[in-house]
Structure 1
Amino acid sequence: MSGELTPERREAIREAEHAVMGVLLHEGVKDLVPDLVDALSGADFYDPRNGELWELMCSMWAAGAEACDPVTVTAELTRRGDLERLGGRVFLHELYDSVPSPAMALAYAEIVAEESRWRALAAAGTRTVLAAGRREGSAVEAAERAVEEARQVRDRGVSALDTPPLDLLDLLAQADDTPDWVIPGVLARWDRLMVTGPEGGGKSLLLRQILMRAVAGLHPWKRARIAPVRGLLVDAENSAGQARPWLRTMAAAAAAEGAEIGRGQLTTEIRPGGLDLTQPADRAWLLRLVERVRPDVIAIGPLYKLHAPRSGEAAEDSARALMTALEAVRVASDGAALLIEAHSPHAAPGVKRRDMRPIGSSLWLRWPEYGFGLAPADGEGSQELRLMDWVPWRGPRSERDWPEQMCQGATWPWQAIQYAGNAPVLGITLTEEQVAAAGIQVPEQREFWDDRQLT
């Protein structure tokens, strides 16, 4: 090994090595093993004993062992006479407990692999410096050796995974991918929808409506049935007392349409104090929750309550850290569609319509697949209807079935409006009989959902 490591860096490497080894001791990770074997070899570990243990556990999985856990690995090491040399029984149980989230195994492996590449690069540099000092061969030959060794570090462990270059004609001959729909025509797996607007503009109610109707098996803004999905609501702003009435009323509205939400369809987490997903504890908590629930769609936010900026931290650094955490959530959920609420800036002096882009780093403009703002519409009667334009602030990556406007609903917070010529066509409606049977509180005219005090 070349180069001195600080105690802090050595500890970070130790944590990553223990975490990735610990993953192999958990059940249900067999599908991850091929990718982990491709990502790491025993030689990549800073501690050679960890490398030996890694190779043993990988071989046990490859051999089709019924279990690879602290008990079975202890038995195998005992049979080989290597148990104490490679850490002992207690060490194996500590490895098992050191895993924040098995879903993040490849991230842990990348930390270990990156440190291995740095060590290899340092060793290559040391050999080049020694050759230059000894004047071994010609300078050109020494430079060529240095370039080749650096190239080997660059390609180490990954060049074999490169796919052959794809010719244009072969690309065009392939069939187009069919979206894996969560909500047909609206959201597919791995999609990210971010909705912005002013404070009290109804964006959180809209995202809850999309989520609640999806788990009930209803299209978000049409009177149409879809396959019910599993949902997760993470409210980082409102208290349970504030959130419960709206959710109760929406559940009643779904039941009135013959689509009652069953147990296990929607999991709720109310965190009015906010979260900091850039910190290990909060991030690990959410990843564990997602791994248990396995949702198809997640509504989370608002964005500013998911991260506590540090003093002097740049907006771009804050955004990147939070994006990384949210990407980890998507991976842990195996591609759940994300519904994210964010605030838009205040209107500039003299500007009639405020900017709908999310507050913070401009990186957020490029991150989601779909970004829209709820902006008050102009024109006669707009205020009475609470007519809102559905304003895109991010160019869509593919066409979806979005409305053009939203207006205040009765049985649901929002009704979508799509235009057929000049005539608006409203989306969700219920009969008076359905409303009465469900006991839904319908607001009087000009009394908006989020102005009402539900009990």
Structure 2
Amino acid sequence: MSEDQAELRAAELEAAEAVLGALLTPGDSSDAAFMEIVEQLETADFREPRHQVVYDVACVLRTRRDVCDPITMTRELERRGDLARVGGAAYLHQLVQAVPTVYAAVRYAEVIRDASLRRRVEAAGIAAVTAARSGEGEAVDVAERAVEEMRAARDRGLAVTDAPLLHLDEFLAQTPEEPDWVIPGVLGRWDRLIVTGGEGGGKSLLLRQIMMRAAAGLHPWKKARIRPVRCLLIDVENSRDQARPWIEQMARGAHDEGAPIDPKLLTLEFLLERGIDLARPADRAYLARRIERAKPDLIVIGPLYKLTMTGNPNDEETARVLMSALETLRTVSGGAAMLIEAHSPHAVPGKRRDLRPIGSSLWLRWPEFGFGLSPSTEVGAEELRLVDWVPWRGSRSERSWPEQLCGGHPWPWTAIQYRGNAPIPGPTLTEEQAVRAGLIADQTYWDHEQIGQ
């Protein structure tokens, strides 16, 4: 066995023990992981026979909705006469201790599936070579049989469970599904929005404003009520004392609009002093536990470059690791919308600032939505703190975004939307006057009855 093969075998063994350990760990996260694991793995995908036995029994226990832990597994294996075959009760407890984090069990299952596929392909290849060298039968028949065996290795008999092909007439006859909104018209479940800008450009305040208004049951851009949203802030750049003045001001703003925030709907996690590195399993597990307890529907996190302290931030592999960690956190939340703060490159004299995120180009393709805050060049823009809301990636679906934002109080930002080419309202106009004059779009939007409040 070569050194590379030995490393792959060791990784497969660790992954198998982690998956089985996760299945032997009771909890909501383990239950959710089980549903995805059984869609990926068959019993035969495990290389070691004892792992096949444990997986088979774990699937039986969980399918019956029985408790699945080392104690119940020991009892079931004793009943079947297989306890000694798997290494005894001590090995079952060892499996649980081998789990870096339950939340990544699906990722470990992918390692097992990949290794299993390689073994099946290898076996099919050996059979094809043996048949070709034997000289028996027609060459065309040997080739066809080899193709069929490779296809069987790929599909593992799963083709019978595939959904039927979708034809054009069926597709056009389907009624489009309404997104599962977190913020109506703006963000749905599983959506990812990255907001970029320069240092001190107000992007973190904007994300906090979206969060605070959502928790209060207020639309982020418009004077309208929505269903209050359960939110979690994960701040890795500011201390509690640095964040408190703005949080207090926005909380008072919500209260003054008749929408006081239910404290239980907003959880704040400040990690500047502690630090966080999502490349480390322990830190991923820490945030996963916090998310599991908070149960948010909206997560605000960032800035991006401070979420890992290892690797080159411009390196593609570092970006992949960080993306994988963020996907794990989204999965743990059950599909919370995620708002991510990121920095853009330094401005070049004489040119408009590039608003794409610093780092790997992978970030340009990863989120559903990507926008940057860019100071406007229009006359009077500096007095109004006027910024353009500039997309740096094509949106995957239509949403209700502002075109510009200007400074406000008590909310740090006020959205501006145009009617035609009307001029920007000056600082002497109230919002109500600007609406009546047609300078900003009417703020009427969803109300409680329309969204089921």
The TM-score by the shorter chain falls in which range?
Answer: 0.7 to 0.9
What amino acid is aligned across from residue 263 of structure 2 in structure 1? R
Q: Counterpart of 1:437?
A: none
Shift of 1:309: 5.0
2:192 is aligned with 1:192 = yes
Contact 2:101 2:281 in 1 (8 A): no
Moved more, 121-130 or 227-236: 121-130
Q: Counterpart of 1:344?
A: 344
What amino acid is aligned across from residue 233 of structure 1 in structure 2? L
Distance 1:259 1:279 in 2: 40
Shift of 1:174: 0.6
SS in 1 for 2:164: coil
- Structure 1 gaps, min length 5: 432-455
SS in 1 for 2:264: coil
SS in 1 for 2:379: coil
Shift of 1:205: 0.6
Distance 2:138 2:54 in 1: 43
Q: Assess, with a 3 A threshold, how the Cα gap between structure 1 residues 310 and 31 changes in structure 2: closer, same or farther.
A: closer
Distance 1:356 1:32 in 2: 37
Q: What does residue range 321-336 of structure 1 map to in structure 2 within 5 Å?
A: 321-336=321-336
Q: Counterpart of 1:444?
A: none
Q: What does residue range 113-128 of structure 1 map to in structure 2 within 5 Å?
A: 113-128=113-128
Distance 1:276 1:129 in 2: 48
What amino acid is aligned across from residue 246 of structure 2 in structure 1? W
Q: Assess, with a 3 A threshold, how the Cα gap between structure 1 residues 425 and 32 changes in structure 2: closer, same or farther.
A: farther
Question: How many equivalent residue pairs?
Answer: 425
Q: Counterpart of 1:207?
A: 207
2:305 is aligned with 1:304 = yes
Q: What does residue range 10-89 of structure 1 map to in structure 2 within 5 Å?
A: 10-25=9-24, 26-28=26-28, 29-30=30-31, 32-62=33-63, 64-89=64-89
What amino acid is aligned across from residue 267 of structure 2 in structure 1? T
Distance 1:105 1:392 in 2: 35
Shift of 1:75: 1.1
2:288 is aligned with 1:281 = no
Q: Counterpart of 2:416?
A: 417
Q: Counterpart of 2:402?
A: 403
Distance 2:172 2:424 in 1: 40
SS in 2 for 1:343: coil
Q: What does residue range 371-386 of structure 1 map to in structure 2 within 5 Å?
A: 371-386=370-385
What is the alpha-carbon root mean square deviation over aligned residues?
Answer: 2.6
Q: What does residue range 34-183 of structure 1 map to in structure 2 within 5 Å?
A: 34-62=35-63, 64-156=64-156, 158-183=158-183
What amino acid is aligned across from residue 328 of structure 2 in structure 1? A
Distance 1:158 1:331 in 2: 25
Q: Deviations over 1:292-351 (max 9, x none)?
A: 22210011111111234536x863323222222222222111111110111111222432
Shift of 1:43: 1.1
Contact 2:237 2:306 in 1 (8 A): yes
Q: Deviations over 1:394-430 (max 9, x none)?
A: 222222111111111121111111224526579xx99
Shift of 1:31: 5.5
Shift of 1:22: 2.2
Q: Counterpart of 2:364?
A: 365
Q: Counterpart of 2:391?
A: 392
Contact 1:375 1:390 in 2 (8 A): yes
Q: Assess, with a 3 A threshold, how the Cα gap between structure 1 residues 157 and 300 changes in structure 2: closer, same or farther.
A: farther
SS in 1 for 2:106: helix
Distance 2:65 2:230 in 1: 33
Identity across matched positions, percent:
56
Contact 2:193 2:340 in 1 (8 A): yes
Q: Counterpart of 1:249?
A: 249
What amino acid is aligned across from residue 408 of structure 2 in structure 1? G
Q: Assess, with a 3 A threshold, how the Cα gap between structure 1 residues 331 and 65 changes in structure 2: closer, same or farther.
A: closer
Distance 2:373 2:395 in 1: 16
Shift of 1:51: 0.3
Shift of 1:32: 5.0
Distance 1:44 1:3 in 2: 22
SS in 1 for 2:328: helix
Contact 1:411 1:430 in 2 (8 A): no
The TM-score normalised by the length of structure 2 is 0.86
What amino acid is aligned across from residue 364 of structure 2 in structure 1? L
SS in 1 for 2:392: strand
Q: Assess, with a 3 A threshold, how the Cα gap between structure 1 residues 386 and 4 changes in structure 2: closer, same or farther.
A: closer
Q: Assess, with a 3 A threshold, how the Cα gap between structure 1 residues 364 and 27 changes in structure 2: closer, same or farther.
A: closer
Distance 2:229 2:94 in 1: 37
Q: Deviations over 1:48-69 (max 9, x none)?
A: 111011111212223x243222
Distance 1:6 1:410 in 2: 62
Shift of 1:117: 0.8
What amino acid is aligned across from residue 415 of structure 1 in structure 2? T
Contact 2:20 2:55 in 1 (8 A): yes
Q: Deviations over 1:179-216 (max 9, x none)?
A: 11111111111111111111110000100110111112
What amino acid is aligned across from residue 156 of structure 1 in structure 2? R
Distance 2:116 2:425 in 1: 61
- Structure 2 gaps, min length 5: 433-453
